[in-house]
Structure formats: structure tokens, C-alpha cells
Amino acid sequence: MQGKIIKGIGGFYYVHTIQDKVYECRAKGIFRNKKLKPLVGDEVEIEVLDEEKLVGNLVDILPRKNTLIRPAAANVDQALLLFACTNPEPNYIMLDKLMIELKRQHVPMKLCFNKMDLDKEEAKKLCSIYKDSVCISVEERFGMENILEYLDQKTTILAGPSGVGKSSLLNALYPNAKVETGNISRKIQRGKHTTRHCEIFCLAPNTYLMDTPGFTSVNLNLEEILAQDLRFYYPEFDEYEGSCRFQGCVHVHEPDCKVKEAVELGSIPKKRYDSYTYIWEELSSHKRYK
Ligand SMILES: Nc1nc2c(ncn2[C@@H]2O[C@H](COP(=O)(O)OP(=O)(O)OP(=O)(O)O)[C@@H](O)[C@H]2O)c(=O)[nH]1
Ligand SMILES: [Mg+2]
Ligand SMILES: [Zn+2]
């Protein structure tokens, strides 16, 4: 029998089949030997051990369309990257790193700022810094149609820091999900890592949304990217590529740099450029220690 892994906890995999049943499965030894770890989103073959108790074994993983590393998931079509305008304040470095990671993995994404109800000015500012981003309020159910349209007929991973309202958004779009949501810690203005595992929900036929645990900045090292290639992850720089004085200009310390000029003129948001140079420095120093 075939199905999709919708959740994995403590060595158990929950497999949803086309008969709309969910089997609790264990992975057999063959996976461990092959060093193949089943992931949420995997299409799998199972053998049923007990039809009454809905228990089975995973026997095979069907070929994957793609594999995401952070968060770990398989067969994802696109990502909905969620941040909050405030509570918690967006961390620009983390935000840029997440966008870079997704781009590196060729996952299309939409950036969304939630909690617009708390600070409309800040929401507007963020949308002007990040091209093509949208502002929503799950609390006031503002912007939900837009999101539903984006999700239609796709498998989407919902990613972002803790406390920004990922699970709240899922519950708003799909009340049957009834997933737990948590408050923001008042003292440190941070989420409390309420969601502990990835889980997929079927919102409509062929439309899946995956809730994930919130990121911490610690687990975001962009090991795979070279400092000199970082500029290609900033679409704002594209139109200036090749017009700086030096060939291969990385737009940091070089003189007569068109990107730096554009930042001064305000054509490229300064926040984006600042994150760029910060991440560039970080990647450059990685190289030195290798
Ligand atoms: N003011 C306001 N609060 C919101 C909004 N959306 C969610 N919240 C609140 O934000 C808090 C965190 O929401 P969650 O949905 O648990 O956040 P999460 O992103 O799933 O967090 P983790 O599971 O820890 O990664 C809750 O107290 C929500 O009620 C919104 O649009 N406006
Ligand atoms: Mg959550
Ligand atoms: Zn330059």
C-alpha cells in the first residue's frame, strides 16, 4: 500500500493513504543500512501489520522530487516564509539567510509578514524593503485569500522563526488542524518553540501545508555558499552586475561600485545591503578557518 508520511515522531512515521487512513509505521532495518532517513513529505510503500490498530512497516521510499535540509522535508513544491512585523521583531540576517537557503535549494518562495494589526507602519516599511512580500494579520483574518490562492494545488512548507504565527495561520486556513499555538515570552520577546515537529495537513485535494518548528539563528550556517557567489542571491543587485569598475566586483570593498552607488541613492534598500555585507563577512571568515 502507498501513502505519504505526514508526521514523524520518536522513530514512528505516520502514513496517510489514499483510503484516508493513517498508519503508525516503523522504518525497517534496510533504511538504516542504506543511511536513508524517511522524511515528512515522502511518498512511501508500507506493509500493514495490523489493520485494526492501523499499524505497519515502511518498506520503501519512492523517488523524491527534492529534499529540503532545513527544515528537513521531502517533495516540497514551494515555501511560505513567515515573519512577524513585530513580536518578535524580524531578524534581518536570519530572514536573508532563509531566503538564500531556499534559493540555493531551488525552492520558490513567498515572503509574508504577519501581525500587521500590531504595527501598520512597520509592516509597510518591511514590504518596501522586501520586494514582492505581503503583509497579513492572522488575528484579523486579513490577507488570507491571497495565501489560499498561493497554496492551491501545491505542497507548501511553512517556515520561519518561533512565535511569528505559523501554527496560527495553519489553524486559520484549516480549522480542523487544531495545532497548538504559544505565546510570546514577554521578557525576551521571543517565541517559545511550541511546534516541535513537522506535520503535513491536507487543506484540499492536492493542496498540502506543512507546519514546522520555528528556526533559531544557531542552526543557519550557509556552508554551501561561497562569499564571492553571495551577490547572486540578491536579485536587487542583478541589474548592476557587470557595470562596476572591477570585473567580479562583490560590492563590498571595491571602489567605483554601482551597487554601493545604488544603495546611497536609495534604489537598493540599505537594510538589504547591510545584511548582504554582514553575511558576506561571515562567509569570508569561514573560508579562512577551513
Ligand atoms: N497580534 C497578533 N498576534 C498573532 C497573530 N498571529 C499569531 N499571533 C500570536 O502569536 C503567538 C505565536 O503564534 P504561533 O502560531 O504559536 O507561532 P509559531 O510560528 O507557530 O511558533 P513556533 O511553533 O514556536 O515556531 C500566539 O500567541 C498567537 O496568538 C496576528 O496576526 N496578530
Ligand atoms: Mg508553531
Ligand atoms: Zn560592485
The pLDDT of 24-45, averaged and rounded, is 86
pLDDT at 252: 97
Regarding whether 48 and 153 lie in a shared domain, the answer is no
**Which bound ligand lies closest to the C-alpha atom of 257?**
3
CA of 251 to the centre of ligand 3 (A): 4
Phi and psi at 135, nearest 5°, equal -110, 140
By most ligand atoms within 8 Å of CB, the mutation choice from 168, 174, 179, 195 for ligand 1 is 168
219 inside domain:
no
The pLDDT value recorded for residue 289 is 52
CATH code of the domain containing 231 = 1.10.40.50
What digits encode the pLDDT tens for the residues 237-260? 999 999 999 999 999 999 999 999
In the chain, the DSSP E strands lie at 2-9, 12-17, 22-27, 43-50, 55-61, 67-68, 73-74, 78-84, 109-114, 134-135, 155-159, 199-204, 207-211
Residue ranges making up the domain that contains 119: 68-211
Q: Please give the distance, rounded to the nearest whole angstrom, from the Cα atom of residue 112 to the centre of ligand 3.
A: 29
Ligand 3 centre to CA of 134 (Å) is 29
Question: Could you tell me if residue 189 is inside a domain?
Answer: yes
Whether 139 lines ligand 1, by a CB cut-off of 6 Å, is yes
275 lies in the same domain as 192: no
Atom of ligand 1 nearest to the CA of 214: 25
pLDDT band at 186 (very low <50, low <70, confident <90, very high): confident
Report residue 156's pLDDT band, with 50, 70 and 90 as the boundaries.
Answer: very high
CA of 280, nearest ligand number: 3
Full-model pTM: 0.92
Local confidence band at 290 (pLDDT 50, 70, 90 cut-offs) = very low
- Alpha-carbon dihedral of residues 216, 217, 223, 226, nearest 10 degrees? 140
Residues with Cβ within 8 Å of 217's Cβ and at least 6 positions away in sequence, in order, are 91, 93, 94, 97
Number of structural domains the chain divides into? 3
Percent of the chain past pLDDT 90, that is, above it, reads 79
Residue 27: inside a domain: yes
Atom of ligand 1 nearest to the CA of 212: 25
C-alpha span between 27 and 60 (Å, rounded)? 9
pLDDT of 288 above 60: no
Same domain membership, residue 79 and residue 39: no
Task: Write down the mean pLDDT value for the chain.
Answer: 92
